[in-house]
């Protein structure tokens, strides 16, 4: 904290080149303190990390001369969306954005123009393009080092620190709130598109964030957690060494066997829907038990809920899980469906995004079941196949907001 009469510190920087901690005053003068140990691993591509004491944002520079700006969360948890439209891009759409920023001729000419428009709107803070753990997983496993860096850089630069909360945690949160409502209690949903630290990977996957140093006051501990989370995300995405793909969890084979069994089943569509619901209920049984307990339900109350009329149908109102159920029905009811390794993962992330974003842009195979599911449930989220279509919708929405503001800033 600055003493009375002293010029304030306006920027704090960790500089890799000199292994120093740098404090910059408002008059431009610096104080440099040697780091006791290197902050960055040898494989890291980060060179400098800077942020103001006001904690308004984070600037990270890379060894290749690129800069990344992240918005940082506020300690008072105030809403930082500021009315911005949220657009979730599937991984292949992020590649179009990355290629367009580098002048590469992928996609259609209209999509390249649209990609640049989305990047501009993000930089102008008119829209939010959240990153998900799915984006991190796919990008960091790419063996092409140059392509991996370019794609990761684009995702970081235009997501600006905004994240889609881990879908498996979102499912748990939705189930807990549903059970709370069952027993006459209320609870607010944790924001899903967020700047909150350590939200992209959750405890649901066994993730445990590093704690703040002992003795830190609450605000300092929160800021420490936010900085470590943000820098770790950037460092991980841009690491010079590609990550390894995790083990196949058996979802592809299990879903394929179930789809093949339904194809041979003689029941009508309604009977098959009930079979799919039973399949989903079985898959969710651990989450149902744990989140009903967390909500304060007794085992008897959970049993009554499960014995009620079509318990899984009660999940249709849940923003993410309800859409996942619709997509699962659509895919399994389509005779001859061939399941690919990423299909279930894509469904999990896209249904979660569609539950909480304004627009989703994804490939046709996932767009059709997601859009039909959103329509059946009366959801307002728009789902598009191309960046050009999405940008047209965003332009309309921004113009409508501008008019509603009386011609003010969009």
Question: Residue 31 falls within a domain, yes or no?
Answer: yes
Q: What pLDDT score was predicted for residue 352? A: 97
Question: Residue 346 falls within a domain, yes or no?
Answer: no
213: three-class secondary structure by DSSP: coil
268 falls in which pLDDT band (50, 70, 90)? Answer: confident
3 falls in which pLDDT band (50, 70, 90)? Answer: low
CA 184 to CA 190: how far, in whole Å? 19
Strand 57-62 relative to strand 67-71, pairing: antiparallel
322 falls in which pLDDT band (50, 70, 90)? Answer: very high
Q: What is the percent of the chain with per-residue pLDDT over 70, rounded to a whole number?
A: 96
407 falls in which pLDDT band (50, 70, 90)? Answer: low
Question: Residue 8 falls within a domain, yes or no?
Answer: yes
Is the pLDDT reported for residue 125 higher than 90? yes
pTM of the entire predicted model: 0.92
- The boundaries of the domain holding residue 28 are 1-12+20-35
Is the pLDDT reported for residue 2 higher than 70? no
Query: Phi, psi at residue 265, to the nearest 5°?
Result: -75, 140
Between these two residues, 205 and 142, which has the higher pLDDT value? 142
Is the pLDDT reported for residue 163 higher than 70? yes
Q: Report CA-CA distances (Å) from 282 to 27, 120, 312.
A: 64, 45, 10
Number of independent structural domains in the chain: 1
Quick one: tokens of 268? 């009508």
Question: Residue 271 falls within a domain, yes or no?
Answer: no
Question: Residue 169 falls within a domain, yes or no?
Answer: no
Residues 182-240: tens digit of each pLDDT: 999 988 999 999 999 999 988 777 778 888 888 899 999 999 999 999 999 999 999 98
CA 68 to CA 81: how far, in whole Å? 19
Q: Is 348 exposed, middle or buried (0-12, 13-18, 19+ CB in 10 A)?
A: buried
Question: Residue 307 falls within a domain, yes or no?
Answer: no
Contacts of 173 (CB under 8 A, 6+ apart): 189, 190
CA 359 to CA 87: how far, in whole Å? 5
68 falls in which pLDDT band (50, 70, 90)? Answer: very high
CA 203 to CA 168: how far, in whole Å? 9
Mean pLDDT for the stretch of residues 15-42 = 88
Per mean pLDDT, which range of 52-56, 204-208, 229-233, 288-292 is the poorest? 204-208
Question: Residue 2 falls within a domain, yes or no?
Answer: yes
Q: What pLDDT score was predicted for residue 246? A: 63
Q: What pLDDT score was predicted for residue 409? A: 45
Is the pLDDT reported for residue 247 higher than 70? no
Cβ atoms of residues 178 and 319 within 8 Å: no
Residues 96-116: tens digit of each pLDDT: 999 999 988 888 899 999 999
């Amino acid at each position: 904290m600055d003493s009375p009469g002293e010029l304030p510190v306006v920027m704090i920087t960790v500089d890799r080149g000199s292994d120093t901690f740098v404090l910059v005053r408002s008059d431009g003068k610096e104080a440099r303190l040697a780091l006791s140990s290197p902050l960055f691993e040898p494989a890291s591509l980060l060179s400098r990390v800077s942020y103001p004491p006001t904690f308004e944002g984070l600037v990270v520079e890379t060894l290749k001369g690129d800069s990344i700006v992240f918005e940082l969360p506020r300690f008072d948890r105030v809403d930082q969306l500021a009315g911005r439209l949220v657009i979730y891009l599937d991984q292949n759409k992020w590649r179009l954005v990355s290629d367009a920023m580098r002048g590469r001729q992928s996609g259609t000419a209209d999509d390249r123009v649209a990609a640049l428009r989305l990047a501009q709107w993000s930089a102008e803070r008119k829209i939010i393009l959240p990153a998900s753990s799915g984006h991190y997983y796919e990008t960091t496993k790419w063996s092409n080092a140059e392509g991996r860096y370019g794609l990761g850089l684009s995702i970081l630069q235009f997501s600006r620190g905004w994240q889609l909360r881990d879908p498996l945690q979102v499912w748990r949160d939705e189930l807990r709130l549903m059970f709370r409502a069952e027993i006459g209690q209320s609870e607010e949903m944790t924001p899903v598109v967020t700047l909150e630290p350590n939200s992209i990977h959750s405890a649901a996957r066994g993730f445990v964030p590093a704690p703040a140093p002992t003795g830190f006051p609450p605000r300092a501990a929160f800021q420490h957690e936010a900085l470590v989370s943000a820098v770790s995300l950037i460092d991980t995405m841009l690491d010079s060494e590609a990550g390894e793909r995790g083990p196949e969890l058996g979802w592809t084979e299990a879903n394929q066997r179930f789809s093949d069994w339904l194809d041979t089943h003689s029941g009508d569509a309604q009977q098959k829907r009930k079979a799919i619901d039973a399949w989903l209920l079985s898959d969710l049984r651990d989450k149902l038990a744990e989140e009903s307990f967390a909500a304060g339900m007794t085992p008897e109350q959970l049993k009554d809920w499960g014995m009620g009329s079509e318990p899984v149908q009660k999940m249709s109102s849940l923003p993410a899980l309800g859409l996942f159920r619709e997509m699962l029905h659509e895919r399994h009811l389509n005779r001859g469906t061939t399941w690919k390794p990423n299909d279930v993962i894509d469904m999990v992330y896209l249904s979660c995004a569609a539950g909480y974003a304004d627009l989703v842009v994804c490939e046709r195979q996932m767009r059709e079941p997601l859009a039909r599911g959103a329509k059946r449930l009366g959801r307002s989220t728009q789902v598009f196949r191309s960046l050009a279509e999405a940008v047209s919708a965003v332009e309309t929405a921004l113009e409508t907001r501008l008019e509603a503001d009386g011609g003010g800033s969009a």
